[in-house]
Each structure stands twice: as C-alpha cells, then as structure tokens.
Amino acid sequence: MLFWSYRYFPTYFGLRLVADRAILLPTAEEDPLIRAAALEPLFTMPAGFLFLTPEEEALVGERSPVRVPSAVIGCGIDPLRGGHAGPPLQAGVGAGFPVGPDPFVLYLGRVDPNKGCETLIRYFTRYVAGGRAATLVLAGPVNMPIPDHPSIRALGFVADDVREELLSRARVLIMPSPYESLSMVVLEAWNHAVPVLVNARCAVLLGQVRRADGGLAYRTGGEFAAALDYLLDRPEDVRTFGAQGLAYVEREYRWPNVMAKIEDVLARATPGAAVRGF
C-alpha cells in the first residue's frame, strides 16, 4: 500500500491500518507542519519509505530515524521528442508566441506569495530599474496582485504546447519557493537544457542545483541581481549549465532508474518490518 504525502487525511488515518505493508512517500518540506508533535508517531510506522531528495530524507530522519528499507527516487521524467537544442540565446519567436524577442526569464507554476513570488517580483523590478533589458514571464494560475510593469508578463494558465515552448525558449527558469520537497519544474527546465536560478534558502532547491551543477542560487536581492547578470551575459556558461542539468536528469530521473529503486524497496520492505504506534 503506497501512501503519497504525509500531510493528508488518507495517510494520517489510513497508514496505521496497514502499517506492516505500507510504503510512505512523505513529500516533506521544511515548513512548520513537519514539526507538529501529533505527526511524530506517523514516521515510525511504515514498512518502507520513498524519498524525493536527500534533503527530504534527512528532514524525516530528524523526526524519527529511518530504520526500514528506503530509497531516494526523485521522479521519472520522459525524454523530449526530437532531442535537446538548449535555450536559444536570441529567441526568434513563432507565430502566436506570447513573449517578445527580448531575453526572458521564466517562472512556471502557481503565482502565489507562498511560492516566493512576491519576493521574486520585488527583486526583478529592482533589477530592471537599474537599466537591464529583460522580461519576467509568469506562467500559471495567479493568486496575488501583479504590478502593471512593462517588463513583467503574467500569462495565467497556458496550454501544454505553450508551456513547452516557454521552457525551451527561456534564458533561465527562476524558482523562488522557500519550501519544496522536489521541484518538478526545475527538472523540466533541465530536460530542455535550460539552466535555473533558485532560492538558496530552500535546502532542497540548493541541493538540486549543486548536485546537477545546473544553475545558480541566491539568498538576497543583490545575489539575485548578480546571478541574473551572469546568466544574461555569459551565453557559453548558460549552455554549460543547461547541458549539465540535462546530464543530471539523464543519470537520475529517467523512468528505468526510478522504477528500479522503487522495486528494490518493495522487495526489501517485508511485512512486519514496521514499528507500530499511535
């Protein structure tokens, strides 16, 4: 019995009923809920664990040492059809493409303060106020006010083909979220050989970028501006970061590799291995 995410009703009340054959994929993040005392027994119960990143594994281990079969599996990503051209350094735009020819940086996902988007917009508007020509494209459902600014384009929800086109044409993908268990959109950017710029205050994002050597990280507005300058001004390094990110996805996140890790945990997590509690 596979339980996905520790924080919801089916896991909290269901896992205890089948703990001796339960595999938990916690999707744990460094947020206040992970410290709740009521959840501590939950992490002693499964017969096995599947983790998305080493940082998630360490976070759960702080709550209760993992003494049952486990693996860091990430998530499967399919190769792109037609190969990987990498990010175009001077984007030629196709008919109907919603972004102009200037270099653009991309945020893809829910546009929400909890995802760090308020800070991202503040840092970016300060950046272009210094004279840089760049556009920030926000693609995803909008749950906060967006300033009326000539260098910011909020597209809202986009169709799949536009989403893929945005990923392939972006100079860099920015992920400002302070809380992640695994950033799928970072992996999708690397799948397109596009580098990333991430919030270094999120241990998972920082770990992903360091393991892949697929981009840069920032903690402050000054570091954000310096990193964006670097990525906009050094096309060869952009290509290198993107290629390294793609190589990391090829090594770690293709389906055969992910499924082999899952099958190994299933084989080792025999009934009766879990410590029952609550």
23: CB partners within 8 A, 6+ apart:
1, 2, 3, 46, 47, 48, 49, 50, 265, 266, 269
Q: Is the pLDDT of residue 66 over 60?
A: yes
Q: Is the pLDDT of residue 100 over 70?
A: no
Show the domains of the chain with their CATH numbers: 2-76+255-268 (no CATH), 104-252 (3.40.50.2000)
The string of DSSP letters for 228-260 reads HHHHHH-HHHHHHHHHHHHHHHHHH-SHHHHHH
pLDDT (0 to 100) of residue 35: 86
Q: Is the pLDDT of residue 129 over 70?
A: yes
Strand order of the β-sheet with 2-4 is 2-4, 23-25, 48-51, 70-72
- Structure confidence by residue, pLDDT tens digits, 239-257: 999 999 999 999 999 999 9
pLDDT (0 to 100) of residue 96: 56
pLDDT (0 to 100) of residue 102: 67
Provide the CA 21 distance to its chain's centre, in angstroms: 29
* pTM score above 0.85: yes
Residue 159's pLDDT band (boundaries 50, 70, 90)? very high
Strand, helix or coil at 196? Answer: strand
- Structure confidence by residue, pLDDT tens digits, 170-215: 999 999 999 998 999 999 999 999 999 999 999 999 999 999 999 9
pLDDT (0 to 100) of residue 120: 98
Residue 38's pLDDT band (boundaries 50, 70, 90)? confident
Percentage of the chain exceeding pLDDT 70: 90
Structure tokens at 147: 């300033």
pLDDT (0 to 100) of residue 103: 81
Q: What is the mean pLDDT of residues 55-66?
A: 90
pLDDT (0 to 100) of residue 271: 63
